[in-house]
A and B are shown apart, each in its own frame.
Chain A
């Protein structure tokens, strides 16, 4: 496996569809499990009620016999029959209470068996002969909720197990979906990494030799050609630096120091000057002192990419404004602009503003990466054919 920082970063829109899949999967998983749980709960409740019904209807027949015999002894005997296993009540057919020992008065005459809000189980038996004037005999027992306890326990145990299994399946599915994406990213990364490695020596040879060249000693025509070579080499150099940043673990991107951005920006504008001049682009700099504790090389990648994009996507004889304040840094070009619906994708790796310009489309993804790492904010404003402004604040 290649060891580098970005291999595992997916493109933002792919991430979005992945999140959607994940959310759908989780919602479905929870839905299915809760549906099963509800059915299970209801089944258990019915089972419990069925058991209670058998027991209670036995009790009820017994109690009915006692009430019947009391009917013929009344009023010489007027003690309502009691039982330690349940309490009961009798109501007449007009739902008037005749006698009651119930603790819960929430009686539902339409149902035979139900649980009241204060957790009592009621069983109602109705008579055809109204002994003691009673049409309804109501038995009440406590709902011990043992079944409920057991049911919940099972739901939690089996539900948890199901979630676990589903999660594993989900994880495998996810990997299945991701593996083609990962493979293609890996191939791209590996290719870039290998290429980058081979570029280092020839590129530095070209740049240093141009630097060392005595321009006065050559004629005007050749000087122009040398300048063009210089521009081309610098363009390649920016790309090279970006590529090394993303593909190679490099020590130069590790240590932080306090830097004055103003100096770096001036230096980078100077560096890109020859590129800008080739398109007759002018700079307006409004630079104030601004100190940051960051890695100089990393932050240079941010500045380089913003400036080189502003040049690349500018028009001939265009203009670039660079503003630096204590807490913000803005690069503004009067170039071709970005279509509104594409702005959200510009930080994706391998995406380009516009296919007419070359490049890997990795520049802004690096910018975003570094900005995020330092916890800064980046805002892109763009109007098609009017220009783009990118502001970083901290």
Chain B
């Protein structure tokens, strides 16, 4: 019985977290002056490759700081920095992967 609950929980949590991106990230970012696309392009410009971008983003989410943010200084002064860490490292990681897949340039140029 315990085993079934355990399996169910894993199943549930994973289906939940795969969609954590659309649930959390998109929702909160919808009303921001910088679209997720624009932010993505800023990351790409600053970090280059896939691993670099993902690692840089995760690092920022856990240790946010004005010095390493890609956002314009004026924006940050006005809005302050956002600590994304509450979502959990695991979930952040998944969201970042999803984020990358959705916006990456590779394969989308013609």
Contact = CB atoms under 8 A, between A and B. Distances in A.
Q: 7 tightest CB-CB pairs across the interface, nearest first?
A: A94-B49, A130-B48, A93-B48, A92-B49, A133-B44, A99-B109, A80-B109
Given A75-B105, A93-B49, A96-B106, 7 more contacts: A71-B45, A74-B41, A92-B50, A97-B106, A129-B45, A132-B105, A133-B48
Contacts of B106: 92, 96-99, 133
B22 interface: no
Interface of B: 37, 41, 44-53, 103-106, 108-110
A286 to B, nearest CB: 97
24 contacts: A71-B45, A72-B41, A75-B37, A75-B108, A78-B108, A78-B110, A80-B109, A80-B110, A93-B52, A94-B48, A94-B49, A94-B51, A94-B52, A99-B106, A99-B109, A129-B46, A130-B44, A130-B46, A130-B48, A132-B109, A133-B49, A133-B53, A133-B104, A133-B105
Nearest to B52: A93
Contacts of A133: 44-45, 48-49, 53, 104-106
Given A79-B110, A80-B110, A74 B105 contact: yes
Contacts of B48: 92-94, 130, 133-135
A133 B52 CA distance: 10
A157 B48 CA distance: 52
Interface in A125-154: 129-135
Interface in A249-301: none
Contact of B41 (A71, A98, A99): A71
Contacts of A72: 41
A86 B110 CA distance: 17
Interface of A: 71-72, 74-75, 78-80, 92-94, 96-99, 129-135
Contacts of A80: 109-110
A99 B110 CA distance: 8
A180 to B, nearest CB: 79
Nearest to A132: B105
B61 to A, nearest CB: 20
Contacts of A134: 48
A97 B109 CA distance: 12
A130 B50 contact: no
Contact of A98 (B37, B45, B46, B109): B109
B105 A98 contact: yes
A94 B47 CA distance: 11
Nearest to A70: B109
B50 A94 contact: yes
Contacts of A79: 109-110
Nearest to A76: B37
Contacts of B47: 130
Nearest to A99: B109
B49 A135 contact: yes
Contacts of B103: 75
A92 B106 CA distance: 10
Contacts of A135: 48-49
B24 to A, nearest CB: 23
A135 B48 CA distance: 7
A98 B46 CA distance: 16
Most A CB within 10 A of own CB, among B46, B103, B110: B110
Nearest to B49: A94
Q: Which of B37, B41, B46, B49 has the most CB of A within 10 A?
A: B49
Nearest to B103: A75
A96 B49 contact: yes
Nearest to A92: B49
Contacts of A130: 44-48
From B45, B52, B105, B110, name the one whose CB has the most chain A CB atoms within 10 angstroms: B105
